[in-house]
Structure 1
């Protein structure tokens, strides 16, 4: 596997891009191929010093935030508890979802904290349709405190499972009007932006998709240039109400 791509860094932290098909974090004795193991080695720091603050499901690609110092780790954990570590994902779905905040609770396995306790309230996913075409729909999803499979479950509950997310009802392929077929080797879902708590403010880090989602967008004719400028507009549309703008 290639070395992890570091997208941004600051005093005591880095943002790195995780590919689909790789666990964000795992016990190194059980899974020495986790992204955390590779990132710590690439940065030349001990495994335990490299702490994840955003965890992506195995089939999901995108930006992840890591602290490298104890003081930074505490600051990020405090920000997470306050709901201040916001993230933006983009997804390709087979149909438009019901837009707006989603708070659906899985019936089979209700949400739990990492300590195994019920959360104070159901986690929320902010869903915004960015663009629709005859074969697929491009969706933005914003979260502040992610739970296991949260975005994937919420989009499925909104009637639009993620392309390639077979576990939650996503299609294994999409078909264009010209009859061309695209198989999905991974979930067409990627974390493209996040906010880093820094001093008294927050620094936003964004990066264009580089996994399967990038190829799927080009193939479907949607968002030929999902660059940082367009990601910023998607962020504004998703978080407008929270930032004091129109909902």
Structure 2
């Protein structure tokens, strides 16, 4: 981890008028000075409420600067490949986001995320075509893999966003939880912020409902389908933990590891099926499971039946195909 991922500086009157880059060169440790151009280009410097990317920006007395470095000390450089693209047409782009990618800009980086990767992917086809519209309709947590929808027409962005807020979408997730979850259940439990980027069941919170259905049982774990009927932050993770079956490896909500060292990744939550009703059309996309999970499920009893048991469709051969998840 970076020792000081966020640092706050208050500009003194004596240096008012100094350029931002020159000021940073005097205030940052020597080991970080060579990285100032990238720090600025990535959008990791804030002046008050706004990012400041201009090295020549003249500072004013009492300006409050926030210097944001990546928590790991290394910038993410995600690359979107054609295997990750589920649909690419004039109306929309649909992507199977890998786990570990941020869906949007972070305080320290505007480019090392899914939006930046999509823009880079589309760039060769947009040359000479003028500015191309791109709107990220839904987002997934960094750890979550699966379907993210981008509108490519301004006239379509509103109807798609309205579908999201008005119940015109059907979302299905695959999740691996700790323990033996035996029966389908509907969790109806309001959610509220618990601080520190956590959420909790709270009678005074916002209404939240999730249907869970067990699909496959392993040694100390269960693969379930999660069908959120509402769209609260961390909803599936909190509801699963509330039911007594936290996501395997999800330390934030009480999920520990199990004995099998073959289980890949930190925890598994995959947005695998999405149906959207827009205007008079209903469109459905299905995203293959991540490659590491396809390989793992192929080694466990009845693992090859997991996709059929999810009931999301047979077209993508997720346990034996070569598509990248």
Taking structure 1 as the reference length, the TM-score comes to 0.76
In 2, the alpha carbon distance for the partners of 1:157 and 1:57 equals 19
User: Hey, what does 1:57 align to over in structure 2?
Assistant: 141
User: Hey, what does 1:141 align to over in structure 2?
Assistant: 226
User: Does 2:243 correspond to 1:163?
Assistant: no
User: Hey, what does 2:318 align to over in structure 1?
Assistant: none
In the TM superposition, what is the alpha-carbon distance from 1:109 to its structure 2 partner? 2.9
User: Does 2:175 correspond to 1:95?
Assistant: no
Q: Any gaps of 5 or more consecutive residues in structure 2?
A: 1-77, 196-203, 315-325
In 2, the alpha carbon distance for the partners of 1:10 and 1:230 equals 28
- Contact in 1 for aligned 2:191/2:205 (Cα 8 Å): no
In 2, the alpha carbon distance for the partners of 1:217 and 1:171 equals 19
Matched position secondary structure for 2:298? helix
In the TM superposition, what is the alpha-carbon distance from 1:34 to its structure 2 partner? 0.8
- Contact in 2 for aligned 1:13/1:66 (Cα 8 Å): yes
- Contact in 2 for aligned 1:51/1:67 (Cα 8 Å): yes
User: Hey, what does 2:158 align to over in structure 1?
Assistant: 74
User: Does 2:297 correspond to 1:217?
Assistant: yes
User: Hey, what does 2:267 align to over in structure 1?
Assistant: 187
- Contact in 1 for aligned 2:210/2:230 (Cα 8 Å): no
Taking structure 2 as the reference length, the TM-score comes to 0.59
Matched position secondary structure for 2:297? helix
In 1, the alpha carbon distance for the partners of 2:251 and 2:132 equals 33
Structure whose alpha-carbon radius of gyration is higher: 2
In 1, the alpha carbon distance for the partners of 2:291 and 2:141 equals 14
**Equivalent residue for 1:19, pick from 98, 101, 109:** 98
Say which structure, 1 or 2, has more relative contact order (CA 8 Å, 6+ apart): 1
Q: Any gaps of 5 or more consecutive residues in structure 1?
A: 111-118, 176-180, 235-247
User: Hey, what does 1:114 align to over in structure 2?
Assistant: none
In 1, the alpha carbon distance for the partners of 2:233 and 2:190 equals 12
Matched position secondary structure for 1:49? coil
In the TM superposition, what is the alpha-carbon distance from 1:94 to its structure 2 partner? 2.1
Matched position secondary structure for 2:172? strand
